[in-house]
């Protein structure tokens, strides 16, 4: 198999960080606890790092796939027993808006659920402003097909001839589901992310929501806080896009891919993929890079 290539040679875009500090406040879906997320500028090559301001010594947790732990329905990170939870919407906003270096300071483990999308985080980034830094961004160039999963769900990366990330996501709940089948194709740019993905919300089936509540989870989450599908469609809510569900799954994928710690150039095709498979593909791509060039991205 050919190795993937890492480029940091001045032929790609410059790194970026925030121009000022900005914060977002809200309540976590799972815990019901309030949190304040403060986005702070960070220096060249710092990457994205979460800071637990509520704990002694303010421990740092890098947004790295090596720090990911497996939990249902979300992406959590941990270092030395210190955890940040449901980070995918924050990471999607930063990655989608090309903010490469940032401290994300929090006062509780779980990120606010807000409306189930990345919209408030993107608005905060816009408010803070983004500035270019004097160093180029590392780019992972996919040079061979890498695929993880099985016939039921999979995601793969393929080479393309552009220094960009193209994607195609196929969501398939079957014809008998109120969600059904949806497909989204696009190229990741800040403009595309902000316009087409950022406002797409978390969704769940009514039976799944009822089960979670029976387990004592998501007690403060109502029908206006995300999209809950009953037999006839969204309950007490309306879709922002006809294909909002596949847009949100793509948003999640962008957030999970941010755990690479670098940009990825290639074509990604996903079929019913979720957080676990997204992260596994990132691991496989980074493994190929480390064999050839050593560690440049997070791993």
Half-sphere exposure of 156 (CA within 13 A, CB side): 14
Report whether 137 contacts 13 (CB < 8 A): yes
Long-range contacts of 272-276 (CB under 8 A, 24+ apart): 272/152, 272/153, 272/154, 272/170, 272/171, 272/172, 273/149, 273/153, 273/154, 273/155, 273/169, 273/249, 274/73, 274/153, 274/249, 275/73, 275/74, 275/75, 275/88, 276/70
Ligand-binding annotation for 252, yes or no, is: yes
Catalytic one among 40, 68, 137, 275? 275
Using only C-alpha atoms, the chain has a radius of gyration, in whole angstroms, of: 18
275 is catalytic: yes
Ligand-binding annotation for 89, yes or no, is: yes
Q: Which residues are annotated as a binding site for Zn(2+)?
A: 89, 248, 252
Residues assigned a catalytic role: 275
Q: Which residues are annotated as a binding site?
A: 89, 248, 252
């Amino acid at each position: 198999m050919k190795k993937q290539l890492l480029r940091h040679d001045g032929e790609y875009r410059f790194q970026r960080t925030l121009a000022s500090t900005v914060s977002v406040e809200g309540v976590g879906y799972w815990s019901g606890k309030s949190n304040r997320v403060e986005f702070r500028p960070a220096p060249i090559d710092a990457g994205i790092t979460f800071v637990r301001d509520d704990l002694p010594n303010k421990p740092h947790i890098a947004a790295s796939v090596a720090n990911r732990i497996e939990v249902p329905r979300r992406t959590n990170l941990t270092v030395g027993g210190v955890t940040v939870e449901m980070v995918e919407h924050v990471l999607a906003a930063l990655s989608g808006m090309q903010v490469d270096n940032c401290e994300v300071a929090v006062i509780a483990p779980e990120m606010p659920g807000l409306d189930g999308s990345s919209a408030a985080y993107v608005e905060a980034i816009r408010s803070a402003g983004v500035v270019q830094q004097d160093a180029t961004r590392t780019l992972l160039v996919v040079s061979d097909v890498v695929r993880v999963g099985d016939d039921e769900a999979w995601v793969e990366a393929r080479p393309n001839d552009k220094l960009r990330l193209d994607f195609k996501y196929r969501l398939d709940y079957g014809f008998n589901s109120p969600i059904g089948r949806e497909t989204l194709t696009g190229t990741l740019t800040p403009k595309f992310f902000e316009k087409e993905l950022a406002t797409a919300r978390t969704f769940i089936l009514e039976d799944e929501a009822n089960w979670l509540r029976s387990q004592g989870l998501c007690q403060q989450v109502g029908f206006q806080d995300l999209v809950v599908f009953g037999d006839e469609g969204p309950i007490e809510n309306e879709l922002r896009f006809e294909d909002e569900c596949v847009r949100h799954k793509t948003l999640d994928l962008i957030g999970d891919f941010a755990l690479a710690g670098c940009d990825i150039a290639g074509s990604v095709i996903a079929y019913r993929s979720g957080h676990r498979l997204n992260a596994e593909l990132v691991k496989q791509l980074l493994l190929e890079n480390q064999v050839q060039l050593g560690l440049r991205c997070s791993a």
